[in-house]
Amino acid sequence: MPPRPRFDRRAPVRELPNINDRISYPQLRVVDSDGSQLGVISREEALEVAKERELDLVLVSEKADPPVCRIMDYGKFKFEQEKKAKEAKKKSHQTEVKEVKMRYKIDQHDYDVRIGQAVRFLKAGDKVKCTVIFRGREIQHTALAETLLRRMAKDLEEKAEIQQAPKREGRNMIMFLTPRKTPLVKKEEKEAAPTKAVRTIPAPPRPTAAKVAAQQA
């Protein structure tokens, strides 16, 4: 006797959508594709209407009495639902802290590489920990390390804000950057911004003594 096939209880059961022939309720409240109410009609009649429109009959509220169905393009509906789910997942991105390490005597090429790394992290919505590592007697040059970190913050100012200014931490100097939430307005742009002209109304001319005497005569 052949062995019985094992049923894997851990395997997920894929639920098929309640559309078209999978809907078993005899009476349905049907909403047309344009949102208008078709009322309570039989399952067969609802399927016929959907077929005439070359659309699908989709069960949207099973708990209602009678259940509610809508005539729609199910493929398009499913695509839009998946698109919304992806957008919601992007918005719920968990912010991480990414680190960029360097020495205070970094050359221009390596510095540009670190800037590129920081830009990628910031665009992904993550914070960036900029770390200058000291070795041996290099700890004496903390001022140069701070200058380097502030230079980096300046070069990234259009995409990042300083969350924590450069400070010493053990044998390192660190700085935290966070993605910029509001666009950067530079000082030159502020000064170049046009000021709103104020309209002034000239005061009426004061009458002369001769004119007043003439009016009184």
Bridge-partner residues for 169, per DSSP?
172
From 152, 57, 58, select the one nearest 104 (Cα to Cα): 152
- Please tell me the distance from the alpha carbon of residue 35 to that of residue 68, in angstroms, as a whole number: 13
Q: What mean pLDDT is predicted for residues 158-177?
A: 93
CATH tag for 97-185 (out of 3.40.630.30, 3.30.110.10, 3.40.50.620, 2.30.30.110): 3.30.110.10
Would you say residue 190 has pLDDT above 90?
no
pLDDT confidence band for 208 (50 / 70 / 90): low
Q: Which regions of the chain carry the CATH code 3.30.110.10?
A: 97-185
- Please tell me the distance from the alpha carbon of residue 150 to that of residue 152, in angstroms, as a whole number: 5
Per-residue model confidence as pLDDT tens digits over 47-98: 999 999 899 999 999 888 899 999 999 989 889 888 988 887 776 667 789 9
Fold of 20-77: Ubiquitin-like (UB roll) (3.10.20)
Rg (CA), the chain: 36
Would you say residue 42 has pLDDT above 90?
yes
Q: Which regions of the chain carry the CATH code 3.10.20.80?
A: 20-77
